[in-house]
Structure formats: structure tokens, C-alpha cells
A and B are shown apart, each in its own frame.
Chain A
Amino acid sequence: MSRNIFFKTGLLVIGSLMILQFQNCSQLPAETTMSSQEMTVDHMDNDHGLPSTKPAVDYSPVLMDRWEVYSLLTDIFGPDSLAVQVNKNALEAIVKDMSVFGAPCSINDNYKTKNVTTGALANAPSADACSNSDTGVAMGAAIHPGGNVLRQGVLNNACRVLLDQAKTLDYALAQLKDAPADVLPLNSDANVLKLFRLFYRTQPLPAQSLVDSLKVIVGSPATKDGWKNAVYTTCVSSHWQVL
């Protein structure tokens, strides 16, 4: 019996070691031993340490640009998303920040302002301008950048502001109701999936675990705050930005 246990323990240890061996997925930064004394004709830049296993193609999904994000949110939250100043500011932050959300910037961004008193023309502020930007950063903005912290910050803020306004919240919730006369959408799989579809327009439907997690937030019975939090969660989940 003890021999059996010893044998099984040994196999367990060997098995665990094999698993650990297979976990080496992350690449270390190119470790280099630098000395020009070592230079030979055959010396290559990356001939140091363990061989690199970079894939030939590194696939990175493309994200919506600033206009796509802006359009989607105004569609979800309705006309008051632009009619109310605080909402408008939050949404315009998405459009203005080219380096955060990506360009391309448009020649229409190179506008001029006119002083109403003197009539003098001035270039658009460099923060807004495209090719007229003083720093060239707007021109250098990636067409489709990846996620970044500032993008998430702007998105978090836009979601929060839009949901703090009654009209924009109600507009979004109205799209989830079973019937227009309902005060609130019922907490059901179908309505939660409608919420999902508000943001994730073309992606496959999610697993039940995601639906259940949103239903927990909505509450039973459903409350307005519950729905507000569910919409907020979906809004800041951010993966809907992937094209």
C-alpha cells in the first residue's frame, strides 16, 4: 500500500514539474551580454540567452475610433446626450482626444476662428487641430490605437455622466422594456440580452454566466439603480469597442 502511495506521489511530482515546464509562455526582454570585445562577424543582435519564440504575426484586434465610439453612445443614450451640456462635454472629450482614441484626423479639423471684434483669423487651438497642430502629435496619432488608460478614463467618465442624467438613463432603459408602458424593464434573460446588444451589436451572444452576473446587479425585483449599474457595467466593460 505504502509503495502504491509512493509511486503515485512520484508521478504527481513529475506531472507537476511537466506542467510548470509548459507554463513558460512569457518572453523575457532580450537579455544581452554586451561587449564590443565579443564582436564577431557572425554576432547577431538577438543571439543572447534563450531563443526567442515570437509568433510570425502578432494579431491585435482593432478598436473603434473616436467617431465610432461617439456615435454608438449617442445612439444608445439618445438626443439628450448632446442636448445637455454636461453630457455633451463628456462625449466631445472622446472626439477631441485624437491621441487617446485614434485618428484619422480630418482636414475639417483644421478650422480657423474669427475674432468677432477685430475680424482677425486664427488657427484652431493646437489641441484640436489636425495637421496644424504645433506638436504634430495629432498627425502622429495612431489610426487605431490599442486600449490605454486615458481612453478607459474618458469612457468611464462618459458612461458615468450619461447615466447620472435621468433623461439619458431613461432613454437607454426604454430600449430594454417588454412594453413601452412598463415602468422598468423586467429582470429577465431576454432584457439583459437586450442590454448586451445595445453595446455588443454584432458579437456572439454571451454565456449564461455573464447574463446571470448582470441579473444579479439588476436585482430581484428589478430596481432603477440596479438597471443603472447594469448599464454602467456593460458600458465600461469596454470590449464592445473591438471591431
Chain B
Amino acid sequence: MSHQENKSRRQFLENSIKSLSLLGVSSVLSNSIVQTLMESAHAAETVGVGSKKIYIYFSFDGGPPRWMFDLPLTPNGSSDLFTPGGFGTYVGTTNRSPEALHQPWQDPNSQLWLPPVWGSRPGGGAFNIVNNAFFIRGLDGEINNHEVNRMRNQAPILGGTSIAGSLSELMTVPFPAVVSNSIGSVFKATKPIAPVTVSYEVNGTNGANNPVSRVMSYFSGSKPIANPNILNALYEFDQYSKSIGVSQHTLRNSKDRADELLNKGVSAFTSQWSAVYTKYQNRIKEAMVDTNTSSFMSTQAIPLPPLGSDGNPDGRTTIGTNMFLANTMTDMRNLVQDTTTVNGMAATFATMEIMIVNGLTQIYTCSLDGLSNIKRDGGTATFGMANDQHFIGSLVSTIATTFYYRAILNCVEELVSVLKQKELFGDTVIQFGSEFNRNPKTIGTGSDHGPAGSSALVISGMIEKAVVIGNIRKDTNANSIGTWGLSAGHPATNNKPFRLNDVVKTVCALLGIENVSNNGEYLLANNGGGKWGRISGVKGEAKNVS
């Protein structure tokens, strides 16, 4: 509220007090009435509006393949636009030769055909969160650049306000936002709000060196102020700052929030770390184990392809530039083992859960790293697989990346179950994005950047049934013809492909904040009662177009 408005309001209220006195109401009572109203109004101004929304953003830095989202997503189950063989997500053997087949999985609830990883919940059946998933395919990323497009998922206007930044202005929790890794650098609000930055080096399961303890270490040693004389003097300082017109409301808020944290007790948060961290380590481990994987991988042994006639390894065993699996590996199902993991992922989810369910923050953005400890041979040699893969389409990438997404979904499912218990999921938006997808080569040996065929995913308690939107057209590029396809025009966006602006605008609408992109179209329909779903008619279509 501007100073001018404040002055006008004060004048009005002074006049009101006089008016009430004229009515025969005692000056003490009338003052009390008016001051009470003033205080509550001022509290509303200073504390913020207090949004209940929870926003989590996962950035896949490097641009991994899009299987989690839509490949080979053909909602009607047909694959007529895709070259058979080589680019599916099911890896098995045909005539004793391993290959990746086009074999999507049908969600029994929505009847949509989805990437098979969704039907591979470690406990059996499908991941429950599929019912709250919104798949955005046919997304044209427009810019072929890792860093720029990574940022544009959060802030489509480069250097402009980000989704997390905009929402943080409505926060009344101790930490307006928590960020980690490179995606944190794009955080921007219109007010000078600084997010908390966390990093994920964890010193053992019970180590004090965990992200929650490190954040809380800012407050350890301090005790909450209980002396009423001190509290009164602090109130006088707040009044003083207002009286001289230099009141910085974020300073006042920060003091209140810091006191609130001290009152709750730092140990209340840090003591939870061990159990929660171990829980997510176990979720990742169980996702790497070969149970209920038949939707994306044969239950029979998958041998390596034989060496080429030139004696070189088959390109489909590529694990990096001029690097291949060793031919001592007899069964490609053994690529991923229970020690295969994702660097920092358990710590990320543990920190996220503790900070959100304890009301420390409602906004969390982070980047997810790639897989590590993948078997390379029949012995003990292992390798890591970054998200920045230029060997998409190889059998190694197909298998390993599917397990990667399986682990992520398993952790998200766990987080969502906790949020549901705390009755928070109904206000939660979890968004997944990356700088671009990949266009695999027809010969199945690799891929390159594919911004014109990108996708995104949103999971939210405001979505009650799986939704797919977006059109795909055949890729006619000689190198990648008939593989995963490219974005096509869509009726919801005036027959142009979707752009990041449309995704961001839709997410902002779910969060109840102003659109941080300068334009865009909504990709979901508001069904009322805080629920969102598929847009009816052609504007909600998800087709493969020629």
C-alpha cells in the first residue's frame, strides 16, 4: 500500500473516530474499534496474502529423453507414424536379437496409452500418481540451447519474473522459497525476495551435514525471545521504522518468521532427517530392482547384440562417445542393479518433504542429476549416465533411463502420499521440465537436441484424471525420420505448436498467480471447485497428425 493511501486511510479513520464519538460512543471504545480494524488490515498488508499453494519444480538439466512424458505416447494406441522397431520403450528380444519395441501401456483408469514406466510401480500395478498427471506433448521449445531453455521453463521472459519468484511474494512461511542447483539462479520475484539455497552433500545417514541441518544451523544457538520487555521494545522499533517511512516489510516479516522457527525448535526439524532420508534411499533402491518391469523390459534374458562384421561393438550398446558395454555382459537386464542410484535424489526428496510438511516452505525448485553405478560388464565395472545423452535410442539408454524415471516416480509417489496425509496435495503443483527432448537417429545409435519435439509434465492434486494434450507430426529429417516425431499445430494455440509460454501460463493459473510469460494459452480447463481437467472438444486433443 502506498504512503498516499496510508495517509488517506489514517485520515479517514481519524474522521471515523470523531464520527463515532458524535454518535455517543465513548472515545475509548471508538478508538478501540478503529484500532482493531487498523491492526487487522495492517496485518493483512504486512504478512501477505498467504497462498496455500505448494509448488515443486524438477529440472532435468541436460535434456534426457522424454519417456516419462510421452514417448512413444500415442493416446489412441496406434503407432502408424513411427518406424517400427528401434525406438520403443520396451526392450526385449526378437529372434534372439535385442531390440526396443513400440509397446505403450494403457492406463486402465483414463484408457490413455502412456509410456510403460507408469505401469511399473515396484509394489505392483501402476503408479497412483498417473491419475493426477497432465502430459503436455507436442511442445516446441523454440530455442536450441541448454541454459536458456532450462531457465525458460521457469521464466519464459529471459531475466523476467519466474513462476517460483512470483508465487514467493504470497508466502507467509519462514522460507519464501528453497532452491538448489542451477535452476536456482533463475529465481526472480518483483520484490527483493531471496530464496534459501541448499546443497546435497550428505555425511552418512545420520550425518549432521545434511541440507536441513545446514539451513537450520543459521538458528542454532539462538533462543526464542520470551522477555516481554524486549518484545515490547522490538515492537517500538517496528513502529519507529513505520513512522519515519522506511519500513521494509520483508525485514519485519523475517523477524517474525525467525522467531516462529525458534519457537518451534530447530531440533524438531533436524531430528526427522535420518528416517526420511533412509526412506527415499529405499524408494530409489526398490525402483532399481527387477520386479514389475514387464511393461518395459522382457522377463527373459536380453543378450547384447553381436559385434559388427568389422569387429566393433554394435552401436546400440553405446554408453557414451566411442564407449560401449563390454561384451562380457550376458544379460542387459543386469545393467541396473540395486546399487544403481541417482546422485543427490534421496537427499533432494528428503529435504523437500521435511521443509514442506513442516511448513518451512511451500516452494521448492531443484535439478535432478543422472544415474550412477550402472553395470558395464559381467564383472564389477560401472559407469554413470548423465541426462545430457547423445546416445538416445541405444538399448542402454532405453533401459537405464526408464529405470531412472521409475525411481523418480517412486519417490514422487512417496512424497505425494505424505502430502495427502497432511491434506496438502490438493493445493500442490509438481512440474517437470527440461531444456529439450532428443531426436534419436534412425540407426539407433544416438540423438541430438530436439527442441521441436519437447514435452512437459505436471502432477497436481487439482487434476483428478490423467490428461494428455498436444499433437505430434512425423519427423522427416533424414537422420531421425519416423522416430519420435515433432510438435504439430494444435487448435488450442491457433493451430501452432505449444510453447513454453503456454505451459507456464497454465501452471501460473493452477497456482493462482499472474502469468509470468507475456502471452500463451491455457492448456487445461478450470472445472471449478479447485479442480482442473481436459479441455473439451478439439481444443483438448492429443493426436498424431501426418
| A residues lining the B interface (CB < 8 Å) | 8, 11-12, 15-16, 18-20, 22-23, 25-37, 39, 45-46, 55, 58-61, 63, 99-100, 102, 127, 135-137, 139-142, 144-154, 156-157, 160-161, 203-204, 206-207, 209-210, 213-214, 216-217, 229-230, 232-234, 236-239, 241-242
- The answer to whether B157 has its CB under 8 Å from any CB of chain A is no
In the assembly, what is the distance between CA of A140 and CA of B243, in Å? 33
Asked if residues B49 and A29 are in contact (CB atoms below 8 Å), the reply is yes
Known: A23-B40, A152-B255. 15 other contacts (CB 8 A): A8-B24, A22-B12, A35-B522, A37-B537, A59-B3, A135-B182, A136-B182, A146-B193, A146-B250, A149-B257, A150-B215, A153-B258, A207-B243, A239-B240, A242-B248
Asked if residues A36 and B237 are in contact (CB atoms below 8 Å), the reply is no
| Distance between A60 CB and nearest chain B CB, rounded to angstroms | 6
| Distance between A210 CB and nearest chain B CB, rounded to angstroms | 4
Which listed residue (B221, B235, B258, B525) contacts A149, Cβ 8 A?
Answer: B258
Residue interface bits B1-38, CB-to-A below 8 A is 1, else 0? 11101000100110010011001110000000110010
Which listed residue (B175, B192, B255, B509) contacts A60, Cβ 8 A?
Answer: B192
Residue of B nearest to A32 (CB): B509
Asked if residues A142 and B194 are in contact (CB atoms below 8 Å), the reply is yes
| Distance between A95 CB and nearest chain B CB, rounded to angstroms | 15
The 6 closest A-B pairs by CB, nearest first: A153-B218, A147-B251, A146-B250, A146-B192, A140-B185, A237-B237
Asked if residues B525 and A37 are in contact (CB atoms below 8 Å), the reply is yes
Asked if residues A149 and B222 are in contact (CB atoms below 8 Å), the reply is no
Asked if residues A19 and B521 are in contact (CB atoms below 8 Å), the reply is no
Contact residues, B518-546 vs A (CB, 8 A)? 521-526, 532, 535-537, 539
Collect the chain B residues with CB atoms within 8 Å of residue A232's CB. 230
Query: What are 22 A-B pairs at a CB distance below 8 A?
Result: A11-B19, A19-B37, A29-B49, A30-B514, A34-B509, A55-B5, A59-B2, A60-B191, A61-B248, A63-B248, A99-B195, A146-B251, A148-B176, A148-B193, A149-B254, A209-B236, A213-B236, A216-B233, A237-B237, A239-B241, A241-B251, A242-B246
Collect the chain A residues with CB atoms within 8 Å of residue B229's CB. 213, 216-217, 229
Collect the chain A residues with CB atoms within 8 Å of residue B247's CB. 61, 239
Contact residues, B22-65 vs A (CB, 8 A)? 23-25, 33-34, 37, 40-41, 44-45, 49, 51
In the assembly, what is the distance between CA of A150 and CA of B217, in Å? 10
- The answer to whether B197 has its CB under 8 Å from any CB of chain A is yes
**Do A206 and B240 contact each other (CB < 8 Å), given the known contacts A33-B526, A100-B194, A135-B184?**
yes
Residue of A nearest to B222 (CB): A156
Collect the chain A residues with CB atoms within 8 Å of residue B218's CB. 149-150, 153-154, 157
Contact residues, B206-260 vs A (CB, 8 A)? 215, 218-219, 221-222, 227, 229-230, 232-241, 243-244, 246-248, 250-255, 257-258
Asked if residues B184 and A37 are in contact (CB atoms below 8 Å), the reply is no
- The answer to whether B513 has its CB under 8 Å from any CB of chain A is yes
Collect the chain A residues with CB atoms within 8 Å of residue B273's CB. none
Collect the chain A residues with CB atoms within 8 Å of residue B174's CB. 149
In the assembly, what is the distance between CA of A59 and CA of B33, in Å? 30
Residue interface bits B402-435, CB-to-A below 8 A is 1, else 0? 0000000000000000000000000000000000
In the assembly, what is the distance between CA of A8 and CA of B23, in Å? 6
- The answer to whether B179 has its CB under 8 Å from any CB of chain A is yes
| Distance between B516 CB and nearest chain A CB, rounded to angstroms | 10
Collect the chain B residues with CB atoms within 8 Å of residue A22's CB. 9, 12-13
| B residues lining the A interface (CB < 8 Å) | 1-3, 5, 9, 12-13, 16, 19-20, 23-25, 33-34, 37, 40-41, 44-45, 49, 51, 170, 174-176, 179-182, 184-187, 190-197, 199, 215, 218-219, 221-222, 227, 229-230, 232-241, 243-244, 246-248, 250-255, 257-258, 261, 492, 505-506, 509, 512-515, 521-526, 532, 535-537, 539
Collect the chain B residues with CB atoms within 8 Å of residue A237's CB. 233-234, 237
Asked if residues A35 and B526 are in contact (CB atoms below 8 Å), the reply is yes
**Do A157 and B185 contact each other (CB < 8 Å), given the known contacts A213-B232, A216-B229, A242-B246?**
no
In the assembly, what is the distance between CA of A33 and CA of B241, in Å? 40
Residue of B nearest to A57 (CB): B2
Asked if residues B23 and A15 are in contact (CB atoms below 8 Å), the reply is yes
| Distance between B262 CB and nearest chain A CB, rounded to angstroms | 8
In the assembly, what is the distance between CA of A140 and CA of B180, in Å? 12
Collect the chain B residues with CB atoms within 8 Å of residue A140's CB. 184-187
Asked if residues B23 and A11 are in contact (CB atoms below 8 Å), the reply is yes
Asked if residues A148 and B250 are in contact (CB atoms below 8 Å), the reply is yes
**Do A210 and B37 contact each other (CB < 8 Å), given the known contacts A135-B185, A152-B258?**
no
Collect the chain B residues with CB atoms within 8 Å of residue A234's CB. 237
Asked if residues B512 and A30 are in contact (CB atoms below 8 Å), the reply is yes
In the assembly, what is the distance between CA of A98 and CA of B185, in Å? 13
Collect the chain B residues with CB atoms within 8 Å of residue A33's CB. 526
Collect the chain B residues with CB atoms within 8 Å of residue A61's CB. 246-248
In the assembly, what is the distance between CA of A102 and CA of B250, in Å? 14
Asked if residues B170 and A29 are in contact (CB atoms below 8 Å), the reply is yes
Collect the chain A residues with CB atoms within 8 Å of residue B34's CB. 19
In the assembly, what is the distance between CA of A145 and CA of B195, in Å? 10
Collect the chain B residues with CB atoms within 8 Å of residue A137's CB. 179, 184-185, 197
Collect the chain B residues with CB atoms within 8 Å of residue A15's CB. 16, 19-20, 23
| Distance between A225 CB and nearest chain B CB, rounded to angstroms | 11
Collect the chain B residues with CB atoms within 8 Å of residue A127's CB. 199
Asked if residues A147 and B248 are in contact (CB atoms below 8 Å), the reply is yes
**Do A148 and B194 contact each other (CB < 8 Å), given the known contacts A16-B33, A22-B9?**
yes
Asked if residues A139 and B244 are in contact (CB atoms below 8 Å), the reply is no
Which listed residue (B49, B179, B243, B535) contacts A28, Cβ 8 A?
Answer: B49
Asked if residues B215 and A26 are in contact (CB atoms below 8 Å), the reply is no
In the assembly, what is the distance between CA of A81 and CA of B261, in Å? 27
In the assembly, what is the distance between CA of A192 and CA of B219, in Å? 28
In the assembly, what is the distance between CA of A135 and CA of B24, in Å? 66
Collect the chain A residues with CB atoms within 8 Å of residue B539's CB. 36-37
Collect the chain A residues with CB atoms within 8 Å of residue B515's CB. 45
| Distance between B61 CB and nearest chain A CB, rounded to angstroms | 11
In the assembly, what is the distance between CA of A117 and CA of B241, in Å? 54
| Distance between B156 CB and nearest chain A CB, rounded to angstroms | 13
